[in-house]
């Protein structure tokens, strides 16, 4: 979908993330975001890796298996998620497109067990119907049209408020365009949109999982439930911004 990149100046947070990423700085906000978001987003989806194991993979590309056996896909998807966050940081401010969605999914699922399945499309829309929390989602043949309508409604070249970003996320998750990885891709998209619009980003942690899923289900009737969950997560992230002395609005 064509569009013009958001031309407003980089937010202080995005500028810091890009600088720390480029200079491979350890112990800063980039380091913190990589570990917190990767651990939490994967944990919500069933990863058994601990936060310490996630940190070790990021910092040293090694794994401590002393806690017991480790699933290979958990390790691969953790490493892939680090690269996906890098892609979000690199492309923040560019209009959200179908290609951008597919790129994130491709990064997340490459070299996983799913990638070896003939019916599983890595970096492309689903081929087999799926459900989310027992609820039906958009049929595979209807996904391209549904995503096109979502992006047209969202106006991806514009800046957005938190409520608009969350609304887009809910619509994306209801479409569930990919065979697997929709939750993680959706939360990565929210990160990128927050960075592009100078909205304080947030990490949905495992202890918020129940509130998050309830908020997704009840968005139409009680949008305040998911909004308050995300705002509570924002407040946690603001503590990191205060610690690293990164200014923010709101």
Sequence ranges of the binding site for ATP: 180-187, 212-213
Instruction: Give the torsion through C-alpha atoms of 150, 154, 158, 159, to 10 deg.
Output: -120
Tell me how crowded residue 5 is: count the other CB atoms within 10 A of its CB: 13
Separation between Cα atoms, residue 39 and residue 78, nearest integer Å: 8
Stretch (H or E) spanning 135: strand 135-136
Dmax over CA atoms of the chain, in Å, equals 50
Separation between Cα atoms, residue 184 and residue 78, nearest integer Å: 11
Reply yes or no on whether 176 is catalytic. yes
Handedness of CA 192, 42, 180, 218 (dihedral sign): negative
Separation between Cα atoms, residue 244 and residue 239, nearest integer Å: 9
**Which of 31, 105, 176, 240 is the catalytic position?**
176
Separation between Cα atoms, residue 234 and residue 166, nearest integer Å: 13
Annotated binding site: 180-187, 212-213
Active site residues: 176
């Amino acid at each position: 979908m064509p569009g013009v990149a958001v031309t407003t100046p980089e937010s202080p947070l995005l500028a810091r993330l890009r600088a720390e990423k480029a200079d491979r700085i350890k112990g800063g906000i980039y380091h913190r975001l990589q570990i917190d978001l990767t651990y939490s987003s994967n944990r919500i989806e069933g990863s058994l890796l601990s936060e310490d194991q996630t940190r070790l993979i990021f910092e040293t590309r090694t794994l401590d298996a002393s806690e017991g056996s480790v699933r290979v896909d958990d390790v691969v998807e953790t490493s892939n998620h680090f690269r996906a966050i890098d892609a979000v940081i690199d492309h923040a401010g560019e209009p959200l497109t179908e290609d951008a969605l597919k790129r994130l999914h491709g990064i997340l699922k490459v070299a996983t067990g799913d990638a070896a399945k003939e019916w599983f499309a890595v970096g492309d829309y689903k081929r087999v119907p799926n459900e989310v929390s027992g609820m039906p989602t958009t049929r595979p043949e209807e996904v391209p049209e549904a995503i096109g309508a979502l992006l047209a409604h969202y106006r991806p070249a514009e800046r957005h408020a938190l409520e608009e970003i969350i609304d887009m996320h809910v619509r994306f998750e209801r479409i569930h365009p990919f065979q697997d990885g929709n939750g993680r891709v959706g939360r990565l998209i929210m990160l990128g949109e927050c960075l592009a619009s100078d909205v304080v980003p947030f990490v949905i942690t495992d202890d918020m999982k129940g509130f998050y899923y309830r908020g997704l289900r009840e968005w139409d009737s009680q949008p305040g439930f998911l909004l308050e969950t995300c705002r509570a997560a924002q407040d946690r992230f603001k503590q990191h911004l205060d610690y690293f002395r990164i200014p923010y609005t709101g």
